[in-house]
Amino acid sequence: MLRRRSGTPATGPGNPVHPWVVPCQHDAMDARTLSNGTLWLSPPTVHDIDTITACCREPSIGEWTTMPVPYERADAEKFVFDIVTPGWADRAPTWALRPAEHGPVLGMIGLGPLYLPRRDRDTAEIGFWLSPEARGRGLMTQAVDLVCRAAFDLTGFAFERLEWRAIIGNHASAAVARSSGFHYEGRLRGGGVQRGVRRDLWVASRLHTDPAGPADGWPPGV
Ligand SMILES: CC(C)(COP(=O)(O)OP(=O)(O)OC[C@H]1O[C@@H](n2cnc3c(N)ncnc32)[C@H](O)[C@@H]1OP(=O)(O)O)[C@@H](O)C(=O)NCCC(=O)NCCS
């Protein structure tokens, strides 16, 4: 479940951002820019604020995430300045999905901290959304694949476990998680709070040892 993160972990204090590389089709790139030649992921910037605002006003995004409804321009400003920027300095990176290296924002994907109850620094929660115009083309599955490679890279973020959580009934998100190698683990009753209302969640995970590609074992109807 994509959460509004209030400042979170890419590389912690004493662990400066280093130019680690993610294998991709053409060049070695650092973690801030990931690409498979079709899709580009890079941090959202101040220039993306109007597009993010327009995208996040789309009802299906509010329906399945904890983002504010109604979504105001100030929410996108807060996201870029208070979540994205500190997140990259604290092992909680956010990337915008783009159709070209400097193209417009199509969606967002990020890794946030998990507290169990103290922060588990080897685990992150993955969250994402796509504008409706960009859906139905498998772009989010490609983005999750790129982010998983970066997340598990031992010379980079080196996470051991990524967790996916979604409000029960979010079949499109579950399809992305399943296609991206996440293994279904069950339901968390009242596991999340969406704008003041406690919601049941589905939960799945991918470990650094799990292969990419569709995972087995998802129950019918999820
Ligand atoms: C989740 C999201 C990123 C998926 O985007 P997408 O991959 O382009 O969506 P698609 O339309 O291609 O659907 C992906 C899969 O879900 C399936 N799907 C889509 N809508 C569905 C629905 N209502 N019921 C069941 N399956 C659905 C598609 O058939 C597809 O399956 P496939 O991979 O086996 O072909 C997008 O729907 C979204 O941004 N939703 C709103 C925000 C959100 O839910 N974020 C995730 C929070 S956990």
- List pLDDT tens digits, range 73-107: 999 999 999 999 999 999 999 999 999 999 999 99
Q: Whose CA is nearest to atom 11 of ligand 1?
A: 136
* Cα 138 to averaged position of ligand 1 atoms, centre (Å): 9
- CB of 172 within 6 A of ligand 1: the answer is yes
How far apart CA 123 and CA 71 sit, in angstroms, is: 29
Helix (H, G, I), strand (E, B) or coil at 97: strand
Mean pLDDT of 111-135: 94
Q: Whose CA is nearest to atom 29 of ligand 1?
A: 172
* Cα 149 to averaged position of ligand 1 atoms, centre (Å): 21
How far apart CA 12 and CA 90 sit, in angstroms, is: 5
Mutate to test the pocket of ligand 1, among 140, 165, 194 (most ligand atoms within 8 A of CB): 140
| pLDDT, tens digit (0-9, with 9 covering 90-100), for 154-210 | 999 999 999 999 999 999 999 999 999 999 999 999 999 999 999 999 999 999 999
The topology under which CATH files domain 34-207 is Aminopeptidase (3.40.630)
- Count of CA atoms in the C-beta half-sphere (13 A) of 71: 23
Percent of the chain whose pLDDT exceeds 90: 83
- Residue 199: how many CB atoms within 10 A of its CB? 18
Determine the pLDDT at residue 56. Answer: 98
Mean pLDDT of 147-159: 95
Which has more confidence, 17 or 208?
Answer: 208
Q: Which atom of ligand 1 is nearest to the CA of 167?
A: 48
- Residue 23: how many CB atoms within 10 A of its CB? 9
- CB of 142 within 6 A of ligand 1: the answer is no
Determine the pLDDT at residue 75. Answer: 98
